[in-house]
Structure formats: structure tokens, C-alpha cells
């Protein structure tokens, strides 16, 4: 067997293993409810069908956490946000702009899930995502 043949076999094997990988760009996850915080610790400051802002008064030891706006187990918007507070402030704010084609519906229940990892990183090990904090709310435009 020539060295070129060996290289082609190794490349084919690598592509074959990559095709079997469990990684998905948009993983199907089950977002487990985390600790429910007392009323007033998370609140919707302003909201429209395309954008929503939360004020979070929960104190975290981590400087950045992953925030997900969920419709059941379907993420509508997600990103890393800093959890540090401005001097003299007792809260930090999180603003989600929903991607084109997605919008919040009045009267529907949604969740804000705050976790320590990006779901894409978690999905390599499990399809279960643990929320540190889980805030359930019924959307009303403000």
C-alpha cells in the first residue's frame, strides 16, 4: 500500500467519523428548570414582539453567564451576558433582540434560563441543559 493510499484512507476515515458526530449547530436540548427566584429578583423592564429587556437582581459569582429566552424547549434568542453591576446598581440588564422571523406573542408563556455554558458545548456530553436560574413569565408588551 502506498503512502498516498494510506493518506486517502485516513482522510476518508476522518470524514466518516465526523459524519457520525453528535454535534449539531442548533442542538435539540431539554432545558431543565433551575432554581426559581423570589418575585422581584427578575423582571421584564420593557418588551415588544421583537425585543425584550430584563432586569436581573440575582447575584452570581460568575462574571459572564449564558442567557436563553425559551419558548418551551425552543430557544428564541440566546447569548453570553456580563453579570457585573454598575457602581451603585443592584441589578444588571439583559436585552434580547429576536432574530428575523421570530416574535413574542401576547399572553404566551416564555422562560428566561440562565446557565453556565453554551448549549452547543453541553450537547457534546448530554442533551440536558441545566438552568442555574429559571424565570417563567407571560409576555405582555410594555
**DSSP states of 47-76:** E-SSEEEEEE----SSSEEEEEEEETTEEE
Q: What is the mean pLDDT of residues 51-79?
A: 95
For residue 34, what is its C-alpha cell?
Answer: 433551575
Q: Mean pLDDT for the chain?
A: 85
Q: Which residues pair with 47 in a beta bridge?
A: 52
Residue 18: which pLDDT band, with cuts at 50, 70 and 90?
very low
d(CA 33, CA 14): 38
| Residue with grid cell 406573542, as numbered in its chain | 105
Residue 6 lies in a domain: no
Residue 5 lies in a domain: no
Residue 20 lies in a domain: no
Q: Which residues contact 14 (CB under 8 A, 6 or more apart)?
A: none
Is residue 68 within 8 Å of 81, Cβ to Cβ? no
Residue 55: which pLDDT band, with cuts at 50, 70 and 90?
very high
What pTM value is reported for the model?
Answer: 0.78
R_g over Cα of the chain: 20
Q: Where residue 68 sits, what CATH number does that domain have?
A: 2.60.40.10
What residue numbers bound the domain in which 70 lies? 25-138
Residue 100 lies in a domain: yes
Residue 16 lies in a domain: no
Q: What's the total number of domains in the chain?
A: 1
Task: Pinpoint the alpha helices (H) of 62-141.
Answer: 119-122
pLDDT at residue 10 above 80? no
Residue 44 lies in a domain: yes
Q: What percent of the chain shows pLDDT beyond 90? A: 59
Q: What is the mean pLDDT of residues 55-84?
A: 95
Amino acid at each position: 500500500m502506498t503512502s498516498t493510499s494510506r493518506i486517502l484512507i485516513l482522510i476518508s476515515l476522518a470524514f466518516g467519523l465526523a459524519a457520525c458526530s453528535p454535534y449539531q449547530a442548533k442542538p435539540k436540548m431539554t432545558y431543565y428548570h433551575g432554581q426559581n427566584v423570589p418575585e422581584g429578583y427578575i423582571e421584564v423592564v420593557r418588551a415588544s414582539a421583537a425585543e425584550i429587556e430584563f432586569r436581573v437582581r440575582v447575584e452570581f459569582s460568575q462574571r459572564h453567564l449564558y442567557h436563553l429566552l425559551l419558548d418551551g424547549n425552543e430557544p428564541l434568542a440566546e447569548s453570553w451576558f456580563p453579570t457585573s453591576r454598575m457602581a451603585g446598581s443592584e441589578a444588571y440588564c439583559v436585552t434580547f433582540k429576536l432574530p428575523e422571523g421570530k416574535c413574542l406573542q401576547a399572553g404566551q408563556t416564555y422562560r428566561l434560563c440562565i446557565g453556565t455554558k453554551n448549549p452547543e458545548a453541553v450537547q457534546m456530553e448530554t442533551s440536558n441543559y441545566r438552568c442555574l436560574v429559571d424565570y417563567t413569565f407571560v409576555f405582555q408588551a410594555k
